[in-house]
């Protein structure tokens, strides 16, 4: 039996302990395609198989299948998802068509190797992992994941409103102002818009349709990863086959396969399926749809449903003395009539645009300063009456197509190194954002 390594890194540990354990994990995990180090000692040879192992935490690799070349958020077209044949316990696991074809071909090849006794099994293996390749996790809708994270959010908001705030709301325009203030609270961590959720770390990689996982173990269990994968006598075969069939293996989740749409092997699979153009931009356009354009409609629909619930639970109310102009003024009753979709048009376009930009600033993670945000709001509001609402919304979306979570990128590393050398106090990530915002301000 292959030797085991004691490694207890998990997310329950203290930060210092976790850092030390994860550092030990990296000693066993293979570096990216550069191949600067290999596991189990300082072996000088750079093995071709290790090129399939990638670090998706570096730069923006985790955005593969989540954004278009123009940085718009994307999600797979449902009709492009097909069921995988080689699954564990007949699970219903799917992926984009060419990914499914490549995986099934890889799993079939691996099965043939088992029949030829070229794969270690039973006593020769560690706990039986990699004795076969079967999909356990595949495509799940990012939209469904997103909806589940915000389910019932507006209900909790409305139910928690104090009476004084409720008394200020006489129409949908009043409600929009109160609702936006609520959405801008610092405690709101998960992005409000689907496009920002897709680009964020909250969105799991398997929503891309390009990812298949052959295990459902905990992502934080480093000891399991090392003993069951990196130390498995079958792991090198697994890596070699992954590269042969156009897959990358996630260094931090060694049972995760990510389709490399730029690889020759994956392009060959596409061509066998009849795909004429295998350029990455064409493949993305054919298999994915852009979701940024739906953000504004999502906000309007969410406000509609939230206000509808507000009216349902607060059909009328008495104005309290705190809301009156004088103590002598008698309280008056507010009767709120049921909302119709047409009522949304009663809110001026300028107010909708202002609300959209304010929430986008928070949801995208860009977090501009108020004076900077005001310049964008004023600039976009000036377009009302001269440009369609769709064009204005598209203009706003382009400005906030910024991904702030790019720790590990070359720019981030260079700024962090400079910060260490000069003992600067500015966070490298903040410097990147400041530079981006400065370039935006040059447009106004």
Give residue 406's pLDDT.
53
In this structure, of 33-47, 255-269, 411-425, the range with the lowest mean pLDDT score is 33-47
Strands (E), 277-347: 288-290, 316-318, 333-335
Alpha helices in 142-287 (DSSP H): 142-150, 153-159, 163-168, 172-183, 194-199, 222-225, 235-244, 264-272, 280-287
The terminus-to-terminus CA distance of the chain in angstroms comes to: 67
Going from the C-alpha of 45 to that of each of 31, 37, 50, 362, the distances in angstroms are: 13, 9, 11, 48
pLDDT class of 343 with cuts at 50, 70, 90: confident
Q: Which two tokens stand for residue 15?
A: 């930060």
Contact 93, 137 (CB under 8 A): yes
- pLDDT of 112 strictly over 70: yes
Give residue 178's pLDDT.
96
Give residue 249's pLDDT.
96
- pLDDT of 346 strictly over 90: no
Identify any residues that bridge with 95 across adjacent strands, giving them in sequence order: 82
Q: Which one-letter DSSP state was computed for residue 190?
A: S
pLDDT class of 411 with cuts at 50, 70, 90: low
- Average pLDDT of the residues of the chain: 82
Going from the C-alpha of 176 to that of each of 126, 167, 246, 374, 433, the distances in angstroms are: 58, 14, 49, 18, 29
pLDDT class of 43 with cuts at 50, 70, 90: very low
- pLDDT of 436 strictly over 90: no
Mean pLDDT, residues 27-48: 41
pLDDT digits (tens, 9 = 90+) for 164-211: 899 889 889 999 999 999 999 988 788 999 999 998 889 999 999 999
Contact 253, 213 (CB under 8 A): yes
Side-chain-side CA neighbours of residue 193 (13 Å)? 32
Mean pLDDT, residues 225-241: 91
Mean pLDDT, residues 68-95: 94
CA 275/CA 205 separation, integer angstroms:
24
- pLDDT of 418 strictly over 70: no
CA 119/CA 99 separation, integer angstroms:
24
pLDDT class of 151 with cuts at 50, 70, 90: confident
pLDDT digits (tens, 9 = 90+) for 252-296: 999 999 999 999 999 999 999 999 999 999 999 999 999 998 999
Highest mean pLDDT among 43-47, 129-133, 313-317: 129-133
Q: What is the dihedral of CA 176, 182, 186, 192, to 10 degrees?
A: -60
CA 427/CA 191 separation, integer angstroms:
22
- pLDDT of 311 strictly over 90: yes
């Amino acid at each position: 039996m292959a030797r085991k390594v004691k490694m207890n890194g998990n997310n329950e540990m203290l930060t210092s302990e976790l850092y030390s354990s994860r550092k030990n994990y990296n000693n066993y995990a293979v570096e990216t395609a550069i191949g600067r180090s290999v596991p189990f000692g300082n072996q000088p040879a750079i093995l071709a198989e290790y090129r399939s192992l990638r670090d998706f935490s570096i730069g923006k690799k985790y955005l593969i299948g989540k954004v278009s070349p123009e940085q718009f958020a994307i999600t797979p077209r449902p009709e492009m998802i097909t069921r995988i044949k080689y699954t564990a316990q007949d699970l219903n696991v799917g992926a984009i068509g060419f990914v499914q074809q490549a995986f099934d071909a890889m799993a079939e090849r691996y099965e043939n190797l088992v029949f030829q006794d070229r794969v270690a099994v039973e006593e020769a293996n560690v706990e039986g992992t990699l004795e076969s390749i079967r999909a356990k996790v595949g495509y799940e809708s990012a939209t469904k994941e997103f909806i589940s994270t915000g389910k019932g959010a507006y209900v909790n908001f409305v139910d928690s409103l104090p009476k004084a705030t409720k008394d200020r709301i006489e129409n949908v325009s009043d409600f929009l102002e109160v609702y936006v203030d609520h959405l801008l609270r610092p405690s709101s961590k998960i992005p409000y818009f689907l496009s920002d959720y897709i680009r964020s770390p909250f969105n799991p990689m398997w929503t891309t349709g390009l990812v298949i996982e052959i295990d459902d173990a905990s992502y934080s269990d480093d000891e399991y990863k090392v003993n069951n994968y990196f130390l498995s006598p079958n792991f090198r075969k697994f890596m070699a086959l992954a590269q042969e069939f156009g897959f990358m293996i996630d260094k931090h989740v060694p049972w995760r396969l990510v389709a490399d749409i730029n690889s020759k092997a994956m392009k060959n699979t596409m061509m066998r399926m009849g795909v004429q153009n295998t350029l990455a931009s064409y493949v993305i356009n054919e298999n994915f749809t852009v979701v940024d354009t739906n953000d504004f409609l999502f906000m309007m629909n969410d406000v509609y449903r939230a206000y509808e619930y507000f009216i349902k639970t607060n059909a009328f109310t008495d104005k309290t003395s705190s809301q009156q102009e004088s103590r002598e003024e008698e309280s008056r009753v507010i009767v709120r009539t049921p909302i119709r979709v047409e009522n949304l048009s009663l809110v001026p376009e300028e107010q909708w645009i202002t609300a959209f930009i304010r929430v986008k600033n928070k949801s995208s993670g860009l977090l501009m300063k108020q004076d900077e945000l005001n310049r964008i709001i004023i600039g976009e509001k000036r377009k009302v009456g001269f440009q369609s609402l769709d064009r204005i919304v598209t203009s706003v979306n382009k400005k906030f197509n910024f991904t702030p979570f790019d720790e590990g990128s070359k720019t981030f590393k260079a700024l962090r190194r400079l910060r260490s050398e000069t003992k600067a106090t500015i966070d490298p990530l903040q410097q990147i954002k400041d530079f981006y915002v400065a370039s935006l301000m040059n447009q106004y």
